[in-house]
Amino acid sequence: MAENILVIGACGQLGTELVEELRKMYGNDQVIASDIFKGDDVVFRSGPFEILDILDKKRLGEVLYKYKPTQVYHLAALLSATAELKPKLGWTLNMDGLFNVLDAAVEFRIDKIYWPSSIAVFGPGTPANNTPQNCVMDPNTIYGISKLAGERYCEYYFRKHGVDVRSLRYPGLIGYKSDPGGGTTDYAVSIYHDALTTALHHCFLKADTELPMLYMPDALKATLDIMHAPAEKIKIRSSYNLAGMSFSPKEITAAIQKYIPAFDTLYMPDSRQEIADSWPNSIDDSEARKDWGWKPGYDLDSMTRDMLKNLAPRYGLALSL
């Protein structure tokens, strides 16, 4: 049977690139992008787009009835920093949005659901280095609490209702095609833009704050790999630990300085420092490697070269990399 794929929250950092990849794989008309507004990226003109607020259950039903998707990627969420500023909305959007999708998966018999979790499910009591899949999880942000509760709900719907839901605990995602919004790891994207424009980055974290990160091509690969893996290979139905690299603002600054020696960073930590301090430094993703063959392709240096190479033309620059 032909696959029809609905992406909810398609205009965000991951959604924009995921829609592009899915349309290459399945065909433009097979992938329905949806969000509360239509993004201006060219990808949203290449196939169907629906305005959809995931809190509007009736509208979700209409979209599902119209397209009868076999797979749904539910990406709509408020990220860590924004959810701290708007806790009620963060909780409602992140939880009720997920309930609506899981209930719809049962009602409309959707074959597969993808829902992203995050390293934010960990907290100050979690072992910070090489954080294992199962350990103390005491998130102290609204975003992290909603993601941990969401993980439990995903596993519950798998067990009670047989919903084939798959999930990854993303670290910070870094890419050049679309911008993140409202996250604690966002600095690791804007630092590249600053390097190519003002040669100075004002960092909202301290120099030594090490966090797990992942380059977008690896994030897309992991997402599509877990969705394409045979169901029996998916042993974890809450969410898999996933790792690419770990670095601090000081280390990414040094990585950029290899190619742009005049670049520098000024450290001006704000409220996001407390969030970052509660998260792991590095992640053990051996379960994902063992169960469905996960292996990242990029490290800090290869990502830095690729980011600079792809962003430089946007600012009319030619770098020898």
Most distant CA pair in the chain, distance: 58
Residue 119 touches ligand AKB, criterion: CB under 6 A: yes
Strand partners, 50: 34
User: What b/e sequence results for 224-245 when a residue is b if at least 16 CB atoms lie within 10 Å of its CB, and e otherwise?
Assistant: eebbeeeeeebebbbbbbbbbb
Residue 143 or 176: the one with the smaller Cβ distance to ligand AKB is: 143
Q: Which 3 state secondary structure label does DSSP give 188?
A: helix
The interface with ligand AKB within residues 66-95 (CB under 6 A) comprises: 79-80
3-class DSSP state for residue 201?
A: strand
Q: How far is residue 152's CA from residue 262's CA, in Å, rounded to a whole number? A: 47
Give yes or no for residue 168 binding ligand AKB (CB under 6 A).
no
Least distance in Å: CB of 85 to ligand AKB? 12
Helix axes 300-311, 187-197, angle to 10 degrees: 50
Quick one: 14 or 64, whose CB is closer to ligand AKB?
14
How far apart, in whole angstroms, are the C-alpha atoms of residue 227 and residue 168? Answer: 10
* Size of residue set near ligand AKB by CB under 6 A: 12
Smallest gap from Cβ 203 to ligand AKB, in A, equals: 14
Contact 168, 239 (CB under 8 A): yes
How does DSSP classify residue 46?
A: S
Minimal distance, residue 166 CB to ligand AKB, in Å: 17
Residue from 186, 189, 214 nearest 288 by CA: 214
Q: Which of 67, 114, 143, 240 is catalytic?
A: 143
Q: Which stretch binds ligand AKB (CB under 6 A): 87-95, 117-125, 152-160, 224-232?
A: 117-125
- 13 or 304: whose CB is closer to ligand AKB? 13
User: Residues 258, 304: contact at Cβ < 8 Å?
Assistant: yes
Is residue 174 near ligand AKB by the rule CB under 6 A? Answer: no
Which one of 54-62, 99-107, 170-178, 215-223 is the stretch in contact with ligand AKB (CB under 6 A)? 170-178
Shortest separation between residue 296's beta carbon and ligand AKB, angstroms: 16
Distance CA 75, CA 69 (A): 16
* Part of the chain binding ligand AKB (CB under 6 A), chosen from 44-52, 60-68, 114-122, 150-158: 114-122
Alpha-helical segments (H) within 110-243? 142-161, 187-197, 216-228
156 in active site = no
Cβ closer to ligand AKB: 119 or 288? Answer: 119
Binding of ligand AKB by 170 (CB under 6 A): yes
Residue 159 contacts residue 237 (beta carbons within 8 Å): yes
Q: Is 185 in the site for ligand AKB (CB under 6 A)?
A: yes
* CB of 209 vs ligand AKB, minimal distance in Å: 12
Q: Which of 9, 12, 90, 172 binds ligand AKB (CB under 6 A)?
A: 172
Among 97, 183, 280, 296, binds ligand AKB (CB under 6 A): 183
Among 31, 104, 120, 242, contact with ligand AKB (rule: CB under 6 A): 120
* CB 60 to ligand AKB: min, Å: 24
Q: How far apart are CA 117 and CA 312, in angstroms?
A: 32
CA distances from 276 to 129, 132, 255 (A): 14, 18, 21
What residues are labeled active site? 143
Footprint of ligand AKB on this chain (CB under 6 A)?
79-80, 118-120, 143, 170-172, 183-185
